[in-house]
Amino acid sequence: MVKLFGQRVPLPALIGLLIIVANLLAAAFAPWIAPFPEADVVGDAWAEADATYWLGLDNLGRDIFSRLLYGARMSIGLSLLITVLSFTIGVIGGFTAAIGKGWIDAALSRFVDLILAMPTLIFAFVVLSVMGTDLAVLVVTLACLDSVKVFRLARALAVNIGALEYVEVARVRGEGLWWVITREILPNALAPLIAEFGLRFTFAFLFVAALSFLGLGVQPPAADWGSMVRDYRDVIALDSPAPFYPAGAIALLTIGVNFVVDWLLALHARGYGEGA
Amino acid sequence: MTERTKGDLVLDVSQLRIEVRTDAGPGPVLVDDVSFTLRRGEVLGLIGESGAGKSTIGLAVLGYTRANCFITGGSLRFHGRDIRTMSAAERRALRGPGVAYIAQSAAASFNPAHTILQQVCEIPIQQGLLSPAAARSRAIGLFRELDLPNPEQFGDRYPHQVSGGQLQRAMAAMAMAARPDILIFDEPTTALDVTTQVEVLASFRKLIREHGTSAIYITHDLAVVAQIADEIMVLRQGRMVEHGTADAILHHPQQDYTRRLVAERFEAHGHHAQDSGALLELRHVVASYASLLRVVNDVSLRIQRGDTLAVVGESGSGKSSLARVIMGLLPREAGDIRFRDEMLASRLKDRTREQLRRVQMIYQSPDVALNPNQTLLQIIGRPVQFYFRRSRAEVRARVLELLAMMDLPADYIDRKPGALSGGQKQRVGIARALAAEPDLIICDEVTSALDQLVGEEILKLLKRLQEELGIAYLFITHDLGTVKRIANKVAVMLKGEMVDGGETEAVFAPPYHPYTQLLLSSVPEMRSDWLDGVLAGRAG
Amino acid sequence: ATEDAHAAETPRRGGTMRLGIGGGSTTDSLDPATWNDSVGTTGGFAFFEPLIETGAGNAAQPGLAASWEAKPGATEWVFNLQKGVTFHNGKTFTADDAVYSINLHRGKTKSGAAGVFSAIMDVKKTGDNQITISLKAADGEFPAVLTDYHCRMVPEGTTDFTKPVGTGAFTVAGYQPGVRVHGTRNPNYWRKDRGFLDAFDLTVINDSTARLNALMSGQVDTINRVDAKVANLIKAKKGYELVVSPGGWHTVVSLMQDKGAMFENHDLRLAMKYGIDREQVVKTLMGGYGSVGFDHPIPRGDANFNTALKPIAHDPDKAKFHLKKSGFAGTVTIQSSDAAFNGAVDMATLFQGNLAKAGLKVDVKKEPADGFWSNVWLKGACVVSYWAGRTTATQMLDVGYGPGAPWNESHYQNPKFTALLNAARAELDAGKRKSILFEAQALMSDDVAALIPAFRNSLDAHNGKVGGLVPASLSDMDNSAITVRGWMKA
Amino acid sequence: MLRLVMLRLAFGAMTVLAASVLIFAGTELLPGDLATAILQNSATPENVAEMRAQLGLDRPAPVRYAEWISHAAQGDLGISLSNQHPVAEELAPRLRNSFFLAAFAACVSVPLAVLLGLLAAIYQNSWYDRAVNFITLLTISVPEYLVGYLLVKYLSVRWGLFPSLANVAPENTLLERLDLTFLPMLTLVLVVVAHMMRMTRASVLNIMASPYIEMAFLKGLTKSRVVVRHAFPNALAPIISVIALNLAYLIVGVVVVEAVFVYPGLGQLLVDAVAKHDLPVVQACGLIFACVFILLNLLADIMAILSNPRLRRAR
Ligand SMILES: Nc1ncnc2c1ncn2[C@@H]1O[C@H](COP(=O)(O)OP(=O)(O)OP(=O)(O)O)[C@@H](O)[C@H]1O
Ligand SMILES: Nc1ncnc2c1ncn2[C@@H]1O[C@H](COP(=O)(O)OP(=O)(O)OP(=O)(O)O)[C@@H](O)[C@H]1O
Ligand SMILES: [Mg+2]
Ligand SMILES: [Mg+2]
């Protein structure tokens, strides 16, 4: 039985953790692990897998395995960046709305409703068409779009927790807003926020992949899993396994993250488990 | 179903043992070596402190255990058949027609999505006992028996549309719908206020007597069980302490624990403060929530140093709201509040830090009043640091001092609230209030979430602190017994207004204010004929 | 599956041909002036006809103009029109219609032909069935200009193209822009040697994988723009045929040659010419279905192609030498977009790798598809684009590299080249023109401010039921005339 | 309750208005202006100025906005720049197609997702539960176009069961339409079922911890009855909102699936219009999308209100 921080870790969560760690390692050490540089043409296009090219070569004759490793770096890094940014914006906004109440809450909530009323993919599509597909633009756009969803969760959590008496105690003591948010509310909202973080992270992943399909994703020659799937899709008809490597990588990481999230959610839910 | 003659053995529980087992391995033993029998028409009272395993036993009789709990020993024979060996289908058939359950909180136990009638008729219809029409007419009959208003239409309402007391009775109707042999009452009146409790209790007793049903009545209030039970079993930490007839337990308790339980009820201690000038004074205070009804209407009162002012009244009468007005959480619309001869601002944020420090509050539910993510050092130390700007070491020393004052071990300082019992948590709440070195502490139902003995300990502690530190209390409660024992002044509230008030002796001595009298007469007394007396008195 | 076998077959009348064509948009319309891609032409050619057609080897062939001749000096051309041809609405085709139709593409117009037609000074009716066109400058190959795919004959006064009327083999039975073009036989069609089908049903399929899938699952009979990656698969598959048309379609990297711009430096241009690997482009991007370019836009199939010219071999050392000589130390940014063509970004990426070996630092900037043609092309210093072939070599050189030509991407300017171009344009003798053009090609190969790395073949595919789909010299689908010239086998 | 619903409706209308402002402002930001977009190659400064005047672009933006929105309210969405068709005519058939596909996918996916979710909740932690969880995770974690291509490869190209092109035409019968749109429908179902199913399961399980569920078990009811009758109705609110979200996605978010199956829906129109700077079309699409989104959210809210007796019937 494996334990982590004094908690017993169920098998799926363990698998999930292993997947995540493996991916993070791959992303961190891609330049050292990868047998070839990510953009170098090392042979014929669509060469089959062999001892040197473990997964074969891609549409330009670049090593698929190496690109997969570099892709981990780009995809994970990008999604992480998007998610971290969207959480920063969303949580600060949500907490401010919940605690500020009154017109701040009303204004922020209505604005968020408005953004939520816009189809995300279309919105991103138009914005990126206008602003260009610079990585920074991509990250900021997606993070902003994502942050409205985080805002809703954060606000709901803060409203619930804010109604609890220990928060009232702090307010009655005369504590400032910053203390109330960082010391009383945030630590208690962390578990659901982390779970949400996992989910949003995987959505960011798929979202970047969908944008890549429309030609607005990551710029070449950088590799990211989403655009790799797109670049390799034509050879599905040829029974080539190439598109399944990046697609599999996306699926694996998504599943890994979800396993861990499920476990975190279960941990969090335990407190409410006892009935009547 | 067997023929209904009084005296048949309906349930025979012997050497019951229930344990917790999780994936991580075996857990604590919840119930150990408990045996009792139940005959037709007999009522067994199960009594014990919170966590004693009362509910666990009651549920086991239904063949039900909560998640991770398992019956690991003994037998439960219902008409001779062991519930433990029944198949899942047999067990389902047992629930409803065999054994039925009435839970503590009807509000939580009724499904908000269906009407009451749908839920009452569900058992007989689903078990295939009655046609929908027959089930409906039986339900209406039960509503009538239980004195519910408009029995014909009552069932068409949703749970949120009826009052708590009515809902509790509706649950009894639901349990009775399939004419069970055994009814399990799991603290069915604890959530009700005293005046309602009397009526509900009377309905239950009538029901049991008229239908000749056997019952297990779970409670932690001896006075309640005295009105209804033939036999009483006292439990502690999953084990039986004492078992005997109601009279024997009430009047000749054998075990020390039982004796203490019984004794608490009769104890009373008064207290007088010397007049030393007003600490807090309210004059014609008015407040309401968001322009809805006035929850505090023209309340005036006065607290002196060393006073304990008890605010009593039924649920929803505005007691907590009054406390919030004093704290500044609910801004007042009119009236003055003076504290140490200074005017207190209406809003929290307009008060000085010093004013905030001098009035502290202790809450009803220690579970939500303590941040589960902070250690006791942080919880108790924060006011010290915040109000007095002490160094880290000084804060720690002060926290240790306070822990000692609360009779809490010093090594608890790094624990989080999750690792404490309810009573201990409440002590931490008190320590946190004391850390600010206040003049006045507002206690909002500080004992009602605790069981009797633990609550008593807390009261004693508060009293001791008052003697040592001269703090004044504003003590909110709906338990008149407590009031008599600890308060020297009383304010009686009804619908936001103060209807009666003054020195405790004066208020609780004739001539009574009519509402005060109603409250007083509703407090159960440890006489098995008390309920009859009250009902007779009210009828007359 | 040999391509020439089809020519021998006799066409059969009847049947419906289902086409899956890439290169359409929801913003398309049936107004010939707006056509800009394969769907517009493949659909439109079924309804409207030109005065002059492009035949095999880019030769000008009679269409609605039965014959023509140049007045001496080649600044005036006379065209004699077919007699007795009627429009779909029953009106007879006359010189008035021809004049009106040509003028639709002149002056203030959105027509894609406006550029080439700007050479026209005047169009006059010189008989019921004769028109005379006068030019601003002599042009020995003017009939080729009239083969421009935008220039279709419509009844005089036509302004509304939602209910199109032409003389073509089909009448419109359904039209949804970007979705579907549906035509049924025109019973009064004047030509007997074509128009075999009862109907055709064209579906717009822009996604290459979806297009292939539609052919494979039998939902369409023929598709254009087969992806080179899967071309061999189709070739090998029983019941399917691949049609390879070496044409004039070629890739370009423009190197802006403005005064003071970095590419004014001839050595830097040379460094890039030698530094890129053209073979690799043909092999990896075109799956071998193409040929290397010589940095001039004349395709191998053209009669005026300079056969003596040697290919520019990939030579990193030579590139390094020229780079050093140029003294250039900065970074070249190649702007590219898949809006240019599928694989444009990949090509830039390949060059990035190639040139790194020669010591030249290159950034690839992927431009958004939206606005690429309006904001990047013709504006950026180093932009990837493409050119479709033109009917004549002179015309090609003129539009792409002529001094002052609006689409001269790299602002190429060389007095020697300008002189050669002017001479070729005015020349009526084919032999002399050829030798002038040879010289122009050789000059470009060394000097032009553009890389023309490769020519791509267009690849069409069809199932066994389609007849008459032959390799064409200009564009895919038998120069977009498949509905008119093809047929369905029994 | 009526008050609540009216309030929601009023708020919905306000959101539509606010969204229209956002859309108008957004399209104003697109690079290049209408005049240059129309003139394309022949855009000289004089031409542009003349065209701007002709189009009324020289008037202030608020005036143009007011005109646009009041026309739109009467169903006049302007004229497409690229082919001069009225935008409304252009949109109508595509909107119908988008709705058809969305409705088809919803009819299959909503009951399926709810059923799978309920079963997963009933057999919590069983093999069935785990398998369904895993499979749905897999379907959401694979890019939707890959799902589409794989379905085409096997169900269409290899086994010839369904057409790979969903090129519906107005003359198709309902049956033909169902056949043509089967694969895109299946792709969409695979994409959205997972989300809805997981939400159903999670909210039902969340409710399963309530005291009234324990009570229901103590009444001797079977697990399936407890889940379906007692837990499900109370879990409806979050499920409905997830369904609404997914329905909205089905209508407005399927550009990629449209491309794969060549389906003439709204998404493709918008993408093309943005590429061609056909601003009237872009604005009209944006407005319609926003309306659909807001309407669905509104419906979800109202249904949630109706499904909750506490809100439906005051005390
Ligand atoms: N599902 C469970 N898993 C583990 N322990 C449990 C579970 N349910 C109850 N317990 C523990 O079993 C003990 C007995 O619980 P039980 O509910 O029977 O007490 P009780 O006497 O009814 O108390 P109360 O008066 O508070 O209702 C308690 O310590 C409780 O924490
Ligand atoms: N935040 C609030 N907003 C609106 N009404 C409220 C709010 N809090 C309490 N009320 C209402 O104000 C009235 C008085 O409530 P209060 O909590 O003061 O009663 P109480 O005497 O403390 O009752 P209990 O004994 O149940 O604690 C009740 O009718 C209650 O429903
Ligand atoms: Mg209990
Ligand atoms: Mg209260």
Copy the structure tokens of residue A43: 């042979």
Q: Over 50: is that where the pLDDT of B268 sits?
A: no
Residue C365, CA distances (Å) to A40, C333, C352, C378 in order: 17, 7, 11, 16
Domain D95-312 listed as CATH 3.40.50.300: no
From chain B, pick out residues whose CB is under 8 angstroms from the CB of D310.
112, 158, 160
Summarised one tens digit per residue, pLDDT across range C276-315 is 999 988 988 888 899 999 999 998 888 888 988 888 889 9
In sequence order, which residues have a C-beta less than 8 Å from that of residue C419 and are 6 or more positions away?
none
Q: Over 50: is that where the pLDDT of C3 sits?
A: no
Q: CATH homologous superfamily for B43-52+87-266? A: P-loop containing nucleotide triphosphate hydrolases (3.40.50.300)
Q: Is the C-alpha dihedral spanning C240, C245, C246, C252 positive or negative?
A: negative
The span from the CA of B244 to the CA of B246, in Å, is 6
The span from the CA of C225 to the CA of C21, in Å, is 8
Distance (Å) from CA B73 to ligand 3 centroid = 21
Summarised one tens digit per residue, pLDDT across range C354-387 is 999 899 999 888 776 666 777 788 888 899 998 8
DSSP D157: I
**Which pLDDT score, from 0 to 100, does residue A40 have?**
74
**Which pLDDT score, from 0 to 100, does residue C42 have?**
92
Nearest to C84 by CA among C129, C47, C149: C129
Summarised one tens digit per residue, pLDDT across range B76-106 is 999 888 988 888 888 888 888 899 999 887 8
Q: Over 50: is that where the pLDDT of B16 sits?
A: yes
Would you give the distance in Å from CA B193 to the centre of its chain? 9
Mutation to test the D interface, candidates B111, B167, B174, most D Cβ within 10 Å: B111
**Which pLDDT score, from 0 to 100, does residue D198 have?**
84
Which residue from B minimizes the CA distance to D210? B108
Residue ranges covered by each domain of chain D: 2-73, 95-312
Mutation to test the A interface, candidates B371, B379, B384, most A Cβ within 10 Å: B371
The span from the CA of D165 to the CA of D178, in Å, is 12
Q: Contact B158/D212, CB-based, under 8 Å?
A: no
Arithmetic mean of pLDDT over chain B: 85
**Which pLDDT score, from 0 to 100, does residue D40 have?**
52
From chain B, pick out residues whose CB is under 8 angstroms from the CB of D225.
126
Using pLDDT thresholds of 50, 70 and 90, give the confidence band for residue D21: confident
Nearest to A169 by CA among B418, B475, B360: B360
Summarised one tens digit per residue, pLDDT across range A62-74 is 888 888 888 888 8
Q: Is the C-alpha dihedral spanning D131, D136, D138, D139 positive or negative?
A: positive
* Residues A268/A194, Cβ–Cβ less than 8 Å: no
ipTM above 0.85, yes or no: no
B289 lines ligand 2 (CB under 6 A): yes
Arithmetic mean of pLDDT over chain A: 79
Distance from CA of C110 to the nearest CA of D (A): 7
Summarised one tens digit per residue, pLDDT across range B393-425 is 999 999 999 998 888 888 888 888 877 877 888
Q: Over 50: is that where the pLDDT of D113 sits?
A: yes
**Which pLDDT score, from 0 to 100, does residue C50 have?**
93
The span from the CA of A29 to the CA of D28, in Å, is 45
CB atoms within 10 A of CB B523: 19
Q: Over 90: is that where the pLDDT of C68 sits?
A: yes
Domain B278-375+429-509 listed as CATH 3.40.50.1100: no
The span from the CA of D44 to the CA of B362, in Å, is 79
Q: Over 50: is that where the pLDDT of B269 sits?
A: no
Distance from CA of C252 to the nearest CA of A (A): 19
Range with lowest mean pLDDT among B177-181, B271-275, C197-201, D106-110: B271-275
3-state secondary structure of B67: coil
Q: Over 50: is that where the pLDDT of A276 sits?
A: no
Residue A270, CA distances (Å) to A154, A189, A191, A274, B420 in order: 21, 15, 12, 8, 17
Which residue from B minimizes the CA distance to D211? B109
The span from the CA of C161 to the CA of B17, in Å, is 90
The span from the CA of B71 to the CA of C132, in Å, is 108
Instruction: List the shell of residues around ion ligand 3, using CB closer than 5 Å.
Output: B 55
Quick one: three-class SS letters along D11-25?
Answer: HHHHHHHHHHHHHHH
Nearest to C300 by CA among C476, C478, C473, C59: C473
Residue B291, CA distances (Å) to A98, B286, B331, B332 in order: 22, 12, 12, 12
**Which pLDDT score, from 0 to 100, does residue B415 have?**
85
Residue with more model confidence, D160 or A215 = D160
Residue with more model confidence, D219 or B5 = D219
Range with lowest mean pLDDT among A113-117, C133-137, D302-306: A113-117
Residue C327, CA atoms < 13 Å, CB-side half-sphere: 3
Distance from CA of A89 to the nearest CA of C (A): 27
Q: Which residues pair with D79 in a beta bridge?
A: D86
Q: Over 70: is that where the pLDDT of C7 sits?
A: no
Q: Over 50: is that where the pLDDT of B3 sits?
A: no
Q: Over 50: is that where the pLDDT of D182 sits?
A: yes
Using pLDDT thresholds of 50, 70 and 90, give the confidence band for residue C252: very high
Residue C146, CA atoms < 13 Å, CB-side half-sphere: 35
Summarised one tens digit per residue, pLDDT across range B348-360 is 888 888 889 999 9
Summarised one tens digit per residue, pLDDT across range B293-343 is 788 888 888 888 888 899 988 877 888 889 989 988 888 888 889 888 888
Question: Across B207-211, C154-158, D218-222, which has the greatest mean pLDDT?
Answer: C154-158
Residue with more model confidence, A202 or C76 = C76
Residue ranges covered by each domain of chain B: 43-52+87-266, 278-375+429-509
* Mean pLDDT, residues B110-117: 89
Nearest CB to B109 within list A172, A187, A276: A276
Q: Contact C203/D167, CB-based, under 8 Å?
A: yes
Q: Over 90: is that where the pLDDT of A4 sits?
A: no
Q: Which domains does chain A have, with CATH numbers?
A: 11-256 (1.10.3720.10)
Nearest CB to C230 within list A45, A132, A237: A237
Summarised one tens digit per residue, pLDDT across range C14-35 is 899 999 998 888 778 899 988 8
Which chains form contacts with chain D, at 3 or more CB pairs under 8 Å? A, B, C
* Nearest-atom index, ligand 2, CA of B322: 18
How many Å from the N-terminal Cα to the C-terminal Cα in chain D? 11
Distance (Å) from CA D211 to ligand 1 centroid = 14
Q: Contact D262/C375, CB-based, under 8 Å?
A: no
B320 lines ligand 2 (CB under 6 A): yes
